[in-house]
Amino acid sequence: MNSLITGINGFVGQHLASYLRSCGDDVRGTYVGSQPSSDLDLKWEISQPASPTLIDTLKEFSPDVIYHLAAISHPGSCGDDLPTETCKAVNILGTRHVADLALSLPSEPRVIFTSSSKVYGGRTQEQPWAKEDDTLQPHGGYAHSKWAGENLLRDRIDQGLKAIIARAFNHTGPGQSPIYLVPEWCEKIRDADGPQSVRSLTTSLDLSDVRDVVRIYRLLAQKGSLGESYNVGSGQAITTADIWNTLCDISGKQVEVTAEKPGPSQQPIADVSKLHEAIGSIERITLRQTLEDVFQD
């Protein structure tokens, strides 16, 4: 397949590009900043419409799939309530520009849009599961921006857009920024010379390896039904204490830790039955292997 990745120089984008190329796909990407991942990548600030030159280049490339990853992906950077102006420009308006680009291409590519489990809102320990047909209750700027992106793409389906929505749950892996929990905790444990403090040890969450996530994205491009949403998660609940204790075991250091927020917290856990109906079951990387790889990285 010919594949275009928006945000190819990001954490997930780099893993996706590597995996697609290992499958024999011809890959090009768009990026921002000054560091393309290859000389085939195309600079595009997606808050602006695609230029005629970019459109002409991609008409020649003729992508079968556009993996739309480019976004401000750290919720803390997107606003506590509604999206910030920058978040709206990138995550919402940028998604509109990607849809416009896809509709302008004669190859009629499928668009895999990476949404987020954050659109589901909170869950309780008694009812932790999130299903694709649940009522969405986004909370915070990031969640609202992804919810708006989903709605925008659905509105374009009547115009011929071939969109599939991938609601990604938490994921980690080698190369992730330490602004995210697992690599941040790896650094804390590695450098610890005394007790450490973290936000919570009693949060229950769904955590996948990014290398599994990108495999699922490609399978959805091949087998997913147009216009549908799919949960991209592990379907398993773990606690932040599980993560901390496993990382300590991997490091060989038992680091004393206290939590700033002692009460339990429940994030959505993916009901993956619809996903498996679409793509079949896949063998996943174990949590311990994921954490070992992040720690070594």
pLDDT band at 255 (very low <50, low <70, confident <90, very high): very high
d(CA 67, CA 296): 29
For the chain, give the mean pLDDT: 95
- How are beta strands 238-239 and 203-205 bridged, if at all? antiparallel
Q: State the DSSP code for 274.
A: H
Q: Is the pLDDT of residue 152 over 80?
A: yes
Report pTM.
0.95
* 8 Å CB contact between 58 and 4: yes
Indicate the DSSP class of residue 49.
P
**How confident is residue 33, by pLDDT bands cut at 50, 70 and 90?**
confident
Pair 102, 64: CB distance under 8 Å: no
Q: Among all chains, which residue has been given the structure tokens 């003729």?
A: 62
SS3 260: coil
Q: Which CATH architecture has domain 2-173+207-235+268-284?
A: 3-Layer(aba) Sandwich (3.40)
Average confidence (pLDDT) over 208-235: 98
Whether the CB-CB separation of 97 and 57 falls below 8 Å is answered with: no
Q: Which residues pair with 124 in a beta bridge?
A: none
Given this model, what pLDDT does residue 76 score?
Answer: 87
- For the chain, the domains span 2-173+207-235+268-284
- Strand 269-270 with 129-130, pairing: parallel
How far apart are alpha carbons 138 and 124 in whole angstroms? 15
Return contacts of 7-10, CB within 8 angstroms, 24+ apart.
7/31, 7/68, 7/69, 7/70, 7/71, 8/36, 8/37, 8/41, 8/69, 9/33, 9/35, 9/36, 9/37, 9/41, 10/69, 10/70, 10/73
**Averaged pLDDT for residues 138-150:** 96
Hey, which bits of the chain come out as E strands? Answer: 2-6, 26-31, 42-43, 65-68, 110-116, 129-130, 162-168, 170-172, 196-198, 203-205, 207-209, 229-232, 238-239, 257-259, 265-266, 269-270
Q: Phi, psi (5° rounding) for residue 68?
A: -90, 95
CA distances from 209 to 28, 199, 270 (A): 23, 22, 14
Q: What confidence tier does 34 reach under pLDDT thresholds 50, 70, 90?
A: low
* Confidence label for 135 from pLDDT (cuts 50, 70 and 90): very high
CA angle 5, 139, 197 (to 5 degrees): 90
pLDDT at 38 over 90: no
